[in-house]
């Protein structure tokens, strides 16, 4: 009799190969077949990057979470491996939820994940119970630990929920111990991040409540990540049910970065600054890895729980990951840049300098495409008169386009996909407040077949968004209210 994992592997092997490569993103990770959400187990192991992901191979909706698996040497060309985990034990029969990975001293890879089961209360109500479990393997095949789960509700501090207790992120400390942070909901109904330690990765003990939400930024804090970068400690998490705060945080499920110092005595994060991680529509559940050369690289689920109806219904895959991004901390802010490996696939350079853009749309020879890397530097042609608005239209034909616009008067940058071909009335635009120190605005736009990522002023802010416009729509045009001077460098990504 075939196991649940064997069935999943057999199904994906048959059906994944039926999806033509040209029907997928060119260099963003998509599921081999079926549904994808949170990145899991982003790690460097045996000479390559491993990324696992929340996965339902059988249909393009969330259900019965498995772990999908891909590997890469350059973060751009990914090879599909067989599904790594399936919900096949009593303690995880509802699903193998999000988690992470680390290498054990014996050279094996340890996966730690949230195992979900049901319990029935005295009144007959059925609810989830979330625990943390581990599996050990060789980079392809993994065996679950016979003493799972390794963290349960008994390991949660007083008042903490065992229903909302998930998404462990593991790392090896300089002291030789393993550590992990886990998202949890305390008695006030918001969120908190718990810190645990282990000598071997299997037996864990509670250390501290690393950070507390106290109903400031949304409710439950999901998918935490914690690391030291450029002399500061950084906590990344994805809060549910956020309330809008100007243009820094929008309502819904969002992203949060807290930067500060670590108190070595209490093992708590002393907060200094906070910000969104991504200001676009589609970005959630980010996870990082420390590369062999010391870079901190982040990837996120380039999708939004509130926009799941924005899809191509006939597609046999749904959702994708963001482009991996190099992180740094400067002046109390998180900066993000596309991984430098992207430079190796830049081809066919097209460059213009001092192009004046005004009231009529301008299209430039060689500036078009749906898999491109485009750098823009814009400033007023006349600093005395300035300009009212600058617009870039892309993924454009006579019927469709997506728009990126900037208004210097209020310093607002906006992405708008309402004319991109969607048949659903979902969220179609997002704006962010740009911190400009000069008249010049620098933009770097990475387009893949089904997405755009905009890096603002050398990565001080990022806006991510998926689009499903037909691939034949590959035009790009520029327009302004007033006169804008523009420098542009464009590469095809091959």
Assess whether 383 and 475 both reside in one domain.
Answer: yes
pLDDT band at 237 (very low <50, low <70, confident <90, very high): very high
pLDDT for 106: 98
- Among the ranges given (5-9, 56-60, 126-130, 402-406), the one the predictor scored with the smallest mean pLDDT: 126-130
pLDDT band at 250 (very low <50, low <70, confident <90, very high): very high
Assess whether 231 and 359 both reside in one domain.
Answer: no
- Token digits of residue 253: 């499920």
pLDDT for 119: 87
356-399 pLDDT, tens digit each = 999 999 999 999 999 999 999 999 999 999 999 999 999 999 99
| 313 burial level (CB within 10 Å; 0-12, 13-18, 19+) | exposed
pLDDT at 403 over 90: yes
On the question of a cis peptide bond just before residue 149, with omega within 30 degrees of 0, the verdict is yes
Assess whether 285 and 266 both reside in one domain.
Answer: yes
Instruction: Looking at 52-182, list the stretches that DSSP marks H as alpha helix, in order from N- to C-terminal side.
Output: none
pLDDT at 313 over 90: no
pLDDT at 425 over 90: no
Q: Which of 293, 310, 341 is the last residue of a domain?
A: 341
pLDDT at 126 over 90: no
Average pLDDT of the chain is: 96
pLDDT band at 311 (very low <50, low <70, confident <90, very high): confident
pLDDT at 1 over 80: no
Assess whether 393 and 247 both reside in one domain.
Answer: no
Assess whether 140 and 285 both reside in one domain.
Answer: yes
Let me know: does 247 contact 222? Beta carbons within 8 Å. Answer: no
For residue 402, what are the β-bridge partners? 394
User: Using CA atoms, how far apart are residues 391 and 361, in angstroms rounded to an integer?
Assistant: 9
pLDDT for 124: 81
Assess whether 327 and 354 both reside in one domain.
Answer: no
Helix, coil or strand: residue 7: helix
The secondary structure of 354-419 as a DSSP string is: EEEE-SS-B--TT---SSEEEEEEEEESSTTT-EEEEEEEEEE-SS--EEEEEETTTTEEEEE-TT
129-147 pLDDT, tens digit each = 999 999 999 999 999 999 9
272-289 pLDDT, tens digit each = 999 999 999 999 999 999
- Residue labelled with tokens 């890879």: 109
pLDDT for 72: 98
Residues for the chain: how many in total?
A: 494
Nearest residue to 395 (alpha-carbon basis) of 412, 416, 379: 416
- Mean pLDDT for 20-32 is 96
For residue 344, which phi and psi values (nearest 5 degrees)? Answer: -70, -20
| 265 burial level (CB within 10 Å; 0-12, 13-18, 19+) | exposed
Strand 34-45 vs strand 317-318: parallel, antiparallel, or unpaired? parallel
pLDDT cut 90: percent of the chain above it:
94
Assess whether 142 and 100 both reside in one domain.
Answer: yes
Residue 366 domain boundaries: 344-493
- pTM: predicted TM-score of the whole model, two decimal places: 0.97
Assess whether 63 and 196 both reside in one domain.
Answer: yes
Q: Say how many domains are in the chain.
A: 2
359 is catalytic: no
pLDDT for 120: 83
Assess whether 92 and 234 both reside in one domain.
Answer: yes
175-225 pLDDT, tens digit each = 999 999 999 999 999 999 999 999 999 999 999 999 999 999 999 999 999
Q: Which of 294, 309, 341 is the last residue of a domain?
A: 341
- Strands (DSSP E) found in 121-191: 126-137, 142-144, 165-172, 178-184
Assess whether 164 and 212 both reside in one domain.
Answer: yes
- Among the ranges given (207-211, 291-295, 434-438), the one the predictor scored with the smallest mean pLDDT: 434-438
For residue 434, the tally of other CB atoms under 10 A from its CB is 20
Let me know: does 310 contact 422? Beta carbons within 8 Å. Answer: yes
Assess whether 306 and 348 both reside in one domain.
Answer: no
Active-site residue, selected from the candidate residues 38, 155, 167, 282: 38
CA distances from 152 to 66, 121, 324, 380 (A): 20, 17, 32, 59
Q: Which of 314, 341, 368 is the last residue of a domain?
A: 341
pLDDT at 125 over 90: no
Assess whether 191 and 332 both reside in one domain.
Answer: yes
pLDDT at 424 over 90: no
CATH (domain of 413): 2.60.120.560
pLDDT at 36 over 90: yes
pLDDT at 437 over 90: no
């Amino acid at each position: 009799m075939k196991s649940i994992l064997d069935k999943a592997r057999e199904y994906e092997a048959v059906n994944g190969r039926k999806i033509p490569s040209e029907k997928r993103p060119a260099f963003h990770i998509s599921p081999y077949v079926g549904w994808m959400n949170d990145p899991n187990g982003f790690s460097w192991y045996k000479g390559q990057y491993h990324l696992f992901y929340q996965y339902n191979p059988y249909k393009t909706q969330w259900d019965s979470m498995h772990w999908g698996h891909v590997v890469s040497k350059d973060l751009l060309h990914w090879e599909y491996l067989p599904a790594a985990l399936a919900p096949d034990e009593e303690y995880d029969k509802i699903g193998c939820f999000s988690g992470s990975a680390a290498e054990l001293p014996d050279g094996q890879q340890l996966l730690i994940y949230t195992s979900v089961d049901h319990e029935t209360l005295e009144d007959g109500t059925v609810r989830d119970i979330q625990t943390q479990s581990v599996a050990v393997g060789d980079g392809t095949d993994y065996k679950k630990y016979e003493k799972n789960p390794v963290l349960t509700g008994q390991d949660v501090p007083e008042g903490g929920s065992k229903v909302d207790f998930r998404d462990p992120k593991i790392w090896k400390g300089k002291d030789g111990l393993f550590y992990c942070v886990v998202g949890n909901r305390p008695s006030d109904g918001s969120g908190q991040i718990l810190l645990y330690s282990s000598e071997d990765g299997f037996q864990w003990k509670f250390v501290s409540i690393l950070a507390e939400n106290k109903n400031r930024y949304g409710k439950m804090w999901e998918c935490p990540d914690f690391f030291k970068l450029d002399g500061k400690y950084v906590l990344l998490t994805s809060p549910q049910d956020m309330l809008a705060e100007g243009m820094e945080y929008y309502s819904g499920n969002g992203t949060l970065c807290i930067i500060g110092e670590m108190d070595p005595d209490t093992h708590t994060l002393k907060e200094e600054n906070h910000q969104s991680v991504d200001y676009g529509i589609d970005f959630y559940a980010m996870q990082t890895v420390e590369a062999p050369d010391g870079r901190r690289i982040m990837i996120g689920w380039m999708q939004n729980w509130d926009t799941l109806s924005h899809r191509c219904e006939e597609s046999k895959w749904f959702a994708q990951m963001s482009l991996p991004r190099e992180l740094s901390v400067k002046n109390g802010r998180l900066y993000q840049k596309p991984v430098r490996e992207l430079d190796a696939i830049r081809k066919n350079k097209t460059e213009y300098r001092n192009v004046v853009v005004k009231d009529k749309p301008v299209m430039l020879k060689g500036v078009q495409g749906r898999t491109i890397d485009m750098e823009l530097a814009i400033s007023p042609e006349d600093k005395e008169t300035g300009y009212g608005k600058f617009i870039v239209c892309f993924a454009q034909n006579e019927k469709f386009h997506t728009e990126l616009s900037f208004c210097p008067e209020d310093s607002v940058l906006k992405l708008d996909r309402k004319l991109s071909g969607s048949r659903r009335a979902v969220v179609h635009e997002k704006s962010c407040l740009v911190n400009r120190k000069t008249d010049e605005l620098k933009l770097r736009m990475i387009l893949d077949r089904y997405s755009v990522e905009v890096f603002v002023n050398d990565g001080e802010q990022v806006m991510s968004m998926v689009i499903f416009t037909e691939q034949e729509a590959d035009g790009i045009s520029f327009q302004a209210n007033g006169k804008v001077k523009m420098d542009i460098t464009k590469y095809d990504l091959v």
